[in-house]
A and B are shown apart, each in its own frame.
Chain A
Amino acid sequence: MLIKIRFLGVLSSNLGSKKIVADIDPDYGALQAKIVDLIGDTGVANFVVLKKGVPINKETDIIAENDEFCVFIPISGG
């Protein structure tokens, strides 16, 4: 299933801010794993994933074909 991921803020400085198309299984764990894989060894362990401006809820949100996700680190106070 193809989805799009866009890194914002600090993460955009080395991953770019253009949308990345990724092929994942339709579940939160797969999305999380893909993001961790893309982030790599940046020293970043905690990030927020937004869908339509709102953080995704891993227990209730459904991940669907062509969904777009924004990923960022909450700097300072968050």
Chain B
Amino acid sequence: MFKGYAGRILHVDLTTSKIWAEEPGESFYRKYLGGSCFGVYYALTEIPANVDPLGPDNVITFAVGPITGAPISGAARHNVSAKSPLTGGIGTSEAGGYWAPELKKAGFDAVVINGKAEKPVYLWINNGVGELRDASHIWGSYTKEAQEQIRSELGDKYIRVAQIGPAGENLVKYACISNELAHFNGRTGMGAVMGSKNLKAIAVRGTLPIEFEDPEYLKALAKSGVEKVKSLSGYQGFKSLGTNVNADELYAANCIPTKNWTSGIMNGVENLLAAEWTNSYIKPGTCYACAQSCKRNICNTDAVDPEYGGPEYETVGMCGPNLGITDKLDIIKINEVCSKYTMDTISFGGTVGYAMECFEKEILTLKDTDGLALNFGNAEVVIKLAHMTGKREGFGNLIAEGTKRMSEKLGGSAMDFAIHVKGKEFPAHMPHNKSSLALAYATVAFGADHVSSNFDASIATDPIPYQLQSFGLMKAQNPYQLNDEKVRLYWLTQRAYSLFDTASVCCLTFGFWTIYDFSDLTNAINAATGMKTQFLELITIAERRLAMMRVFNAREGFTSKDDDLPKRLFDEPLSGGVSDGLTVSRSDFDRTKKLYYEMAGLDLEGVPTKAKLVELGLDWLIQS
């Protein structure tokens, strides 16, 4: 068996309480590597077609990667995958934090869970042994109280807890999973799947050694990352400002989603620039062994509990200007409430923004909203609505369903400005000025996503980063233009991002403008495992994951029609500022989508061709 891995996968049947360990062997690890690729593999092999994603037959997989546990920046990610209750297709979501290395030290590379417990339980994994324990006493608790209780009753303050709050228990369609209270598998509703299984948490503790092939190389790589952050002010800047640097770039282009994607700019948005946060309420935090430290922590205010962490850019965008809000403390408070209930702030912000527009257009009235005046900018109402949504109380019960289901209920013209793809709300980057995102949002198998490919500013630099040049992307491109070169940008880097999710590493640390590049990643995997792999094999595994996700969706009835954007993006120009008048070109989109399908080996319905499946060694999927 390769080194670096635990070599064992824990299976749990919650219906029968049966727990067993699988040792799949080298060929499995070589073919699927880890992380999301493991999760998608088990989704395809363990989940029957067309099951209710919130029923007992759904299977949820937690998985780590080959270098997890090495003390390297950006190597502490874990993936959660299952059929998504938000989209009905594949659900998959990444998190940083501290849970992943603990799972491997506890003796497992993945945990695969099916069935439904009769009453609330949590899974306790300790040094090679899994055990189900009663969670009735913490069901309904916020995550902080639940984590404290679990650590207290198990007698170890170093136990790492991946868990759901009340939103997961109440099956909010975009409920997420937190670890250490402030790190999240945010997207596609994986927390609701846990809730549907009466599974409150997975607590892990491990002290087993992880044997690496070349630990000295890994130590040297870790040290080089620390030195870069120490010595180069560019990396220090990212540590200081975090992902909120996105706000600066998008502010300059007037392309921060505003008032449900009707504009890219509003008065007061200057308050949300990166330095404004660092100069007031935010300080750097981190994940396990990561020198980059882009995690946001709260300081200088008693308005919230700092243990729930601070807002990343996506939260700032979607719960800020998208809701007409530009006050930092309001956004911090919304972030805290979503965190303790475990609700994805992107989907929550997207859904509330949609509801606000419906309210202002009188499609929704005070009678519908339980008397809440859902006007853009009304932060007090948003905070109240966050609580109601997490509890599924009153109008919050509709917000808990997400944008797509709400728009289907309202019907008519209200469908035209529901901003989602496959039921998943957009992140806070606009395809209007990042044109390749039009393709990415439309065609990513698990719905609109901003961390599945590089986008347009990265290829607008002079010179183009060497990492992109190594993919054959040589010529600077206009970010606003959706052309053939942008299809290359999307497809070539989509495989790279799929590799990050498969190797369970962070795209803010490995990849393009980052501490480590692709040579470092390949070398690290070899130093961890002794696999003697090369980048070509790794990128093929990553493509295998992409193809498997599309096969999963095809099995669930998805077609090319599901790879489309909301009408608003094509037909309604942005209003105000220098982005005034911008739309996405329908003809460019249709043409480049077709080219993308051909480039990726997909047929006219977006399904991998037989030849592509054979090429990827996925002939076992041809029947399905």
Contacts and interface: CB of A to CB of B under 8 A. Distances in A.
Interface in A19-62: 32, 41-50, 52-55, 57-58
B461 A47 contact: yes
Nearest to B264: A53
Contact of A13 (B233, B461, B577): B233
A53 B461 contact: no
Contact of A57 (B254, B273, B456, B478): B478
A50 B254 CA distance: 11
A72 B248 contact: yes
Given A46-B464, A48-B461, A76-B513, A70 B237 contact: no
A78 B434 CA distance: 9
Contacts of B453: 77
A9 B461 CA distance: 15
A42 B323 CA distance: 36
Given A8-B252, A77-B429, 5 more contacts: A41-B233, A46-B465, A50-B252, A70-B252, A76-B508
B274 interface: yes
Contact of B234 (A17, A42, A70, A76): A42
Nearest to B240: A13
Nearest to A72: B249
Nearest to B247: A9
B253 A54 contact: yes
B455 interface: yes
Given A12-B248, A13-B241, A42-B232, A55 B450 contact: no
Contacts of B450: 77
A9 B255 CA distance: 15
B578 A58 contact: no
Given A76-B513, A78-B454, A9 B478 contact: no
Contacts of B255: 53
B430 to A, nearest CB: 12
B459 interface: yes
Nearest to A10: B237
A74 B461 contact: yes
Contact of B273 (A17, A32, A41, A43): A17
B253 A75 contact: no
B146 interface: no
A58 B578 CA distance: 20
A9 B245 contact: yes
Contact of B237 (A14, A53, A76, A77): A14
B507 A78 contact: no
B156 interface: no
Nearest to A59: B476
B274 A9 contact: yes
Given A43-B228, A46-B461, A75 B513 contact: yes
A75 B578 contact: no
Nearest to B579: A53
Contacts of A8: 245, 248-249, 251-252, 273
Given A9-B274, A12-B274, A43-B233, A77 B478 contact: no
Interface string B444-478: 00000011011111111111110000000000001
Given A9-B245, A12-B248, A76-B508, A58 B462 contact: yes
Nearest to B253: A53
A47 B461 CA distance: 5
B274 A42 contact: no
B460 A48 contact: yes
Contacts of B478: 55, 57
Contacts of A44: 234
B236 A13 contact: yes
Contact of B232 (A43, A58, A77): A43
A45 B17 CA distance: 55
Interface centre among B228, B237, B479, B497 (most CB of A within 10 A): B237
A44 to B, nearest CB: 4
A70 to B, nearest CB: 4
Given A48-B457, A50-B252, A54-B578, A75 B245 contact: yes
A23 B605 CA distance: 56
B99 interface: no
Name the 3 nearest CB pairs between A and B, nearest first.
A78-B458, A43-B232, A9-B245
Nearest to A78: B458
A41 B234 CA distance: 9
A32 B249 CA distance: 18
Given A42-B234, A43-B233, A54-B578, A74 B253 contact: no
A71 to B, nearest CB: 9
Contacts of B578: 52-54
B512 A12 contact: no
B253 A77 contact: no
B451 A76 contact: yes
Interface string B194-238: 000000000000000000000000000000000010011111111
Contacts of B454: 77-78
Given A8-B252, A13-B241, A77 B455 contact: yes
Contacts of B456: 78
A45 B465 CA distance: 8
A9 B234 CA distance: 10
A76 to B, nearest CB: 5
6 contacts: A8-B273, A13-B241, A43-B232, A55-B478, A58-B462, A78-B459
A48 B454 CA distance: 15
A17 B275 contact: yes
Contacts of B457: 48, 55, 72, 74, 78
